Structure 1
Amino acid sequence: LTHDDAATGFFACGTYQLVQEEGESAAETSGKRPRKGRVYLYQFEEENSRLERLQCIETSAILDMKWLPAWSSECNPYLATVNSLGQLEIYEFLQDAKQLHRRMCFSLAEQESQEEAPLALALDWQHDGKHIRLAISDSKGGLNLLRYSSQGEIIRERSWLSHGFEAWTCAFDRWSPHLLYSGGDDMLLMAHDLRTEQRAWTNRAHMAGVTCLLSHPRHENH
């Protein structure tokens, strides 16, 4: 959870379940069926190979989750999740209590919009020492750039349509903080320049949907 405490063995797991009526097959399940999920917090003790479940939180179906490590001795790690209701939820990990405490919930749907919220598919954190940002991709091909304030509030910087189908993944460049990558079901891998609000480049050489990507924290060109 933190750079110094990487061996403490805490980890989180998110689940996704499409609710079916009794006797209904998965193929018959409507796309409007409720989706439910859970956030589990575990601790693994390496000395005795013991795995303990510390907490279970009922929520909507989880599509992605990522930790933001503690950046000073005065703060705790944070866990962000995105779910099937198009929501971002942020939890603070209370290390002494070994529990997750929900700090806030933010909906991707614009308040004035009458459209159904998209599924929030993937997220990434960015912390440059001063500001905390989050990027979220969604099932309508959109990208959402958010700022997490020191008061614990989420501020939407901008949202834009990037892909023709589901935007399955997004990630900040660990070496060039102005770059945001995204990948979608339209077989496109994109780099977005956050300074100019323009695409830096688009790649379709792999000819397949892009479902996951990650900027390497130790190697600049990977």
Structure 2
Amino acid sequence: MADPLKEPTILQIVDTRLCADSTEWCPTENKQNILLCGTYQLQEDEPAEAAGGGQVRIGKLQRYSLSGLLDDQPQLTLEEERDMHGILDIKWRHTVDDDHPAFALVDAVGQLQLWRLADDDSLVKVCSAQLGESCLGLSLDWSRQESPCSDIITSDSTGSLTLFKVGSDIVVADRWKAHDYEAWICAFNYWDGNVVYSGSDDCTFKGWDMRSNQRSPVFTNKRAEMGVCSIQSNPWKEHLLAVGSYDEHVYLYDTRSMRSPLSTASLGGGVWRVKWDPSCGEHLLTATMYNGFHIVDCSNTDTDPLPILAHYMTDIRLGYGADWCRLRPNSDTTGNSKDISAANKALVHSKNDSSKPVGVDTEIGDSNTRMDSHEVTTECDGVDILTKKTSACVGKQSDSSFIVATCSFYDHSLQLWRT
């Protein structure tokens, strides 16, 4: 039986000044107190010269640090911010250097940007690449493969997907027209890096096999009654996929049978983001647009509708960004609780094997239309962000208490709360 609906505890609300639409906690051990927030705002009174006569969208990349967990007084502090074009999505790399975690973002002028943390945790831009001409970058995802080269998939406002190879440089591997309308979301299958998914304003989501020379989808699902805007593969359960739609439903699918969902939940708002919990993959966090944020119990996929464990709705006018903090209440920034002795802390530290897989935080046209790699230009300073180490797995939560960061667009606010 599911736990009763929890009333979230609001810890802090931060004014981001510009409209906030994306927030992501760093997954790397000893850096899990670092939170990124991306903002995006249309400049309606500015001349439209920047994007070939298009609308001007500005934004900021903000870096926050979380403190006060040991004293049970969690607090976010803004440490750094960078002015840039409007940001629409941010994702940390799943397998990252323990010292220099990397992340990527897509922006309102169709750029993919790669960044990393410096020794002092400051933000360092590494590379940038253009997705295409006259488009907005709408979403991105990293593959979980461990090899000399990582993959990033991006989606944009032209309905196209672009596959990048990321090493000491960033290279466009492929680009193709996936949808007739905006491709709101793209995502890797975390268990098979050859498979990606996309969702669009055309009310479909599709699966793609990167090994195929012709870009025809391996499936096209039309279950949603409105646009498909969020997809995420479960990093703990191989065949489980979460899909969210403007039709106010989240759907759980078994990737071996994509005709109909295993179960659903009606959340009363468009499901703009879905995030599996990083500890066991049994809870789903959603940014639910005009109905705040939800935590859904997905431990039993035979249950339909899925139980809702928590709903946060205080002063939310458009919930766009949401992510789980891997740190727990009453712990320090390394994840150690305050009742662990110094000797036990040393023992815990000695057992943290950096070779273990990371916990992942972890939105129809001519499918044969393609653009050659040389059509997309890149620039890079040559810094190699690839690493051979991964941070330790997050163990299964012993209780259902979570710290969460969310952001509301029209309120230009970043919320820190817990269940």
Task: Output the TM-score relative to the length of structure 2.
Answer: 0.46
How far apart, in 2, do the equivalents of 1:44 and 1:69 lie?
A: 20
Q: How many residues align?
A: 203
How far apart, in 1, do the equivalents of 2:94 and 2:36 lie?
A: 13
Query: In the alignment, which residue of structure 2 is the partner of 1:26?
Result: none
Q: In the alignment, residue 9 of structure 1 is paired with which amino acid?
A: N
Query: In the alignment, which residue of structure 1 is the partner of 2:59?
Result: 37
Quick check: 1:132 aligned with 2:150? Answer: yes
Shift, 1:198, TM fit: 3.4
| Secondary structure of residue in 2 paired with 1:57 | strand
Q: In the alignment, residue 66 of structure 1 is paired with which amino acid?
A: K
Q: 2:125 aligns with which of 72, 80, 102?
A: 102
How far apart, in 2, do the equivalents of 1:15 and 1:56 lie?
A: 11
How far apart, in 2, do the equivalents of 1:169 and 1:199 lie?
A: 15
Percent identity reads 31
| Secondary structure of residue in 2 paired with 1:211 | strand
Q: 2:136 aligns with which of 119, 130, 154?
A: 119
Quick check: 1:54 aligned with 2:79? Answer: yes
Q: How does 1:54-203 map to 2 (within 5 A)?
A: 54-73=79-98, 76-94=100-118, 96-109=119-132, 116-130=133-147, 131-149=149-167, 151=168, 153-196=169-212, 197-203=215-221
| Native 8 Å contact 1:68 1:125 kept in 2 | yes
How far apart, in 1, do the equivalents of 2:108 and 2:60 lie?
A: 12
Q: In the alignment, residue 99 of structure 1 is paired with which amino acid?
A: S
Quick check: 1:20 aligned with 2:44? Answer: yes
- Structure 1 stretches of at least 4 aligned residues deviating more than 6 Å after TM superposition: none
Shift, 1:69, TM fit: 4.0
How far apart, in 2, do the equivalents of 1:203 and 1:184 lie?
A: 11
Shift, 1:122, TM fit: 0.3
| Secondary structure of residue in 2 paired with 1:42 | strand
How far apart, in 1, do the equivalents of 2:188 and 2:95 lie?
A: 18
Shift, 1:221, TM fit: 2.1
Larger radius of gyration: 2
Q: Deviations over 1:94-120 (max 9, x none)?
A: 2x31211001111112xxxxxx42111
Q: 1:5 aligns with which of 12, 25, 30?
A: 30
How far apart, in 1, do the equivalents of 2:225 and 2:97 lie?
A: 43
How far apart, in 2, do the equivalents of 1:144 and 1:166 lie?
A: 14
Shift, 1:126, TM fit: 1.2
| Secondary structure of residue in 2 paired with 1:185 | coil
Shift, 1:2, TM fit: 3.6
Q: Deviations over 1:61-97 (max 9, x none)?
A: 0010100145355x52111010010001111112x31
Shift, 1:189, TM fit: 0.6
| Secondary structure of residue in 2 paired with 1:217 | coil
Where does the alignment leave 5 or more consecutive residues of structure 2 unmatched?
Answer: 1-25, 47-52, 241-419
Q: In the alignment, residue 117 of structure 1 is paired with which amino acid?
A: S
Structure with more contact order per residue of length (Cα contacts < 8 Å, sep ≥ 6) = 2
Where does the alignment leave 5 or more consecutive residues of structure 1 unmatched?
Answer: 23-30, 110-115
| Native 8 Å contact 1:65 1:82 kept in 2 | yes
Q: In the alignment, residue 231 of structure 2 is paired with which amino acid?
A: L
Greater strand share, structure number: 1
| Secondary structure of residue in 1 paired with 2:193 | coil
Distance 1:3 1:41, change over 3 A: closer
Query: In the alignment, which residue of structure 2 is the partner of 1:27?
Result: none
Task: Output the TM-score relative to the length of structure 1.
Answer: 0.86
